[in-house]
Chains A and B, each alone.
Chain A
Amino acid sequence: MLNVGLVGVGKMGLSHLSILNAHPEVKSVSICESSGYVRSVLERYSGMTVTDSYEKLLEQAGLDAVVIATPSKLHARMVREALNKGLHVFCEKPFCLDPRESRDLAELAIEKKLVNQVGYHYRFVGTFNEAKRLLDARALGDVHHIRVEAYGPVVLRAKGVTWRNRSDEGGGCLYDYACHALDLVNYLVGPPQSVGGVALNRVFSADVDDEVYATLNFGDGLTGQIAANWSDESFRRMSTEVSLWGTNGRIVVDRQEIRSYVRNPTLSAVPVPAGWRTRNITELTAPVNFYLRGEEYSSQIDHFIDQIKRGAPDEVSSFATAARTDEVVAMIRRAAEGFEVPEYGALAAAAGKRKAAGFWGRAMGLLS
């Protein structure tokens, strides 16, 4: 049985907290939260230990792991501190705003043999996993184009006051929405070598982008496009669709269904019918311990706990895979700012380890 700490009881933190606390392998959950109101309600009604100090949280006796769900700007320092205490870490997405930090922390986690995971929950959706399975079996032959689109209703008017509306804190459609889409690209076909044709547009926001468009170049004849817009009210919630074209067919996949078209089934390493096939999430979803708001939110936590129990960190949604996504996000941001954009890998490699300083006071102050 594990003792888990959680920092940041916002929307994602609350969801993780509920799922963790209901997990059969979790003995206790301790919380760090800066809002006195949220602390008092949680203390009174859930009976969990609640503190306002991340330092105190990490120093709790017997703590095995920590889940970090604070604004993105705080991730790097909090993750480093937890790893240095020998704790397994689950961190919300996007991982770090600076890809150098992402790479450093990925290396640190490997060096310390600690389980490390980032909350890219699309990697735990049955339909996207089915797409990955077909791609790995070369059912599409040589893939030559990938298109990913993510739309939803987050910022619909000119006012906004949370950290999600501030670019230097990891706000904006690029960090909040497009990173999911880019992570799916990385998951399915790997990171692009270069990006171009970037547009980061504002629709309603004053300080951040509301739309992201870019062309991705992978080399070897593979190109891609991303379109993300979090100011689209015609969607009830975030909706992400990936289309892939290959020499042997095509896949269109979203959270509900995967439609594949295969020209010659004998070229696929797994059985697949010729022509169109549709498979739905109902048949591609494995049961979870506790359901809150979509199986993927539970199964990513189940997976994190499972890695700790087995003592076997893996690469399903690790710091290393998230660092690749951070690198691509940084490339897109660079390109939008008019810089000449170096090829994949150059931004993360630009400097050595950076020192974390002035952490505690600033971290907790910013949480409110």
Chain B
Amino acid sequence: MDRVLFGDNQFFAINHMSEEKARAQAMRFQDLREIIRVLDDAYDAGIRVFMCTTHDRIAEVCDHIRANPARYADFKFYPCMPYAHKFANAVTEHGMIEAMRRFLPNEGALSALVKGGMSLATKDVEGLLGLLVNAEMKMFHGLQTPVVFLQNVVTDLVLGLGANSTLRLFADHVRKTYDAEPGFITMNMPRLLDALDGVGVENPIVCSNINKVGFRMCGGMKAYEDAIASRKFRPIAMSVLASGAIAPREAVEYVCKMPKIESIVFGASSRKNIVEMKQLIDELSVAA
């Protein structure tokens, strides 16, 4: 994996600190050209990976990258699925079963089973999960997607339910169908490592908050630091700035002190911040 990954929260009005900032970003980035401009800044700063949700608008970004292969020869996507609000809003509007059916392609048998509320065999659930993943992956057709992530709200939902075998189903499907590495985003990293161990997903790519103030590091900072030091997995650090609660140099220093951490994902909207953060990570990674 690349050392520096570019995230997409800023494009979709996700700001953990301020609703006002979130709204200002939503207004700015409703124009696709603004998103592309920022992605170009990141690409020109040497960042080759865009780690993004499967939001409908990402499909437009995909179209743009496909249309300009020379400009974006090394551009890679790390898709993170599903875009949860899309599904949650559908559940509120249509109910659980109908929402599920709406996200499935119209392929008859499975769709009918779900709608009929009938019980499903294990094979059916595997098929269902595969279809849901394929539906989300459609927009990336013909593009490089070397790692495919399960979003934290789904990873952690499944983790809480103890339905760990579905994590394995996801991993197997991503490997088999997309020749990609499966990744898992979580807010409960130490607990997830146990679960993945239990279902035989070895040396997994796990993306979680890793920051100096312990923001959303569930299980505690010490458990995180111990896991990073001692367990076999490929950690990606997100929210290293804790939504701006930590100064960039201090934040990156903390992460770079742990050599096991393979990648850092961050989002930013201005060229200046993107370049500074990239340079900072490069500088401190060499130092470490």
- The listed residue (A11, A47, A160, A256) touching B162 by CB distance below 8 A is A47
Give chain A residues whose Cβ lies under 8 Å from the Cβ of B191. 22, 290
Q: Contact flags (1/0) for A344-359 with B, using CB distance below 8 Å?
A: 0000000000000000
Interface size range on B against A: 35 or more
Query: How far is A182 from B282 in the complex, measured between Cα atoms in Å?
Result: 50
Query: How far is A281 from B213 in the complex, measured between Cα atoms in Å?
Result: 13
- Known A-B contacts A35-B97, A45-B125, A282-B215; the reply to A18 vs B156 at CB < 8 A is yes
- Contact status B93-A155, CB under 8 Å: yes
- Contact status A291-B161, CB under 8 Å: no
Q: Which of B59-89 contact A (CB under 8 A)?
A: 85, 88-89
- Contact status B214-A287, CB under 8 Å: yes
Q: Contact flags (1/0) for B153-188 with A, using CB distance below 8 Å?
A: 100111111110110000000000000000000011
- Contact status B243-A38, CB under 8 Å: no
Give chain A residues whose Cβ lies under 8 Å from the Cβ of B230. none
- Contact status A44-B122, CB under 8 Å: yes
- Contact status A10-B160, CB under 8 Å: no
Interface size range on A against B: 35 or more
- The listed residue (B12, B19, B163, B165) touching A256 by CB distance below 8 A is B19
- Contact status B17-A44, CB under 8 Å: no
Query: How far is A308 from B270 in the complex, measured between Cα atoms in Å?
Result: 50
- Contact status B93-A256, CB under 8 Å: no
Q: Which of B38-46, B112-120, B137-145, B250-258 is the contact stretch? A: B112-120
Give chain B residues whose Cβ lies under 8 Å from the Cβ of A285. 215
- Contact status B18-A287, CB under 8 Å: no
Whether A14 is near chain B, meaning CB under 8 Å from some CB there, is yes
- Contact status B218-A44, CB under 8 Å: no
Q: How far is the CB of B286 from chain A (nearest CB, A)?
A: 30
- Known A-B contacts A36-B118, A291-B218, A292-B157; the reply to A257 vs B213 at CB < 8 A is no
Q: Which of B13, B18, B93, B188 has the most CB of A within 10 A?
A: B93
**Nearest CB in chain B to that of A176: its residue:** B92
Query: How far is A343 from B39 in the complex, measured between Cα atoms in Å?
Result: 58
Q: Which of A225-247 contact B (CB under 8 A)?
A: 234, 236-237, 239, 241
Give chain B residues whose Cβ lies under 8 Å from the Cβ of A256. 15-19, 22
- Known A-B contacts A18-B157, A45-B166; the reply to A11 vs B92 at CB < 8 A is yes
Query: How far is A21 from B195 in the complex, measured between Cα atoms in Å?
Result: 14
Q: How far is the CB of A183 from chain B (nearest CB, A)?
A: 19
Whether B1 is near chain A, meaning CB under 8 Å from some CB there, is no
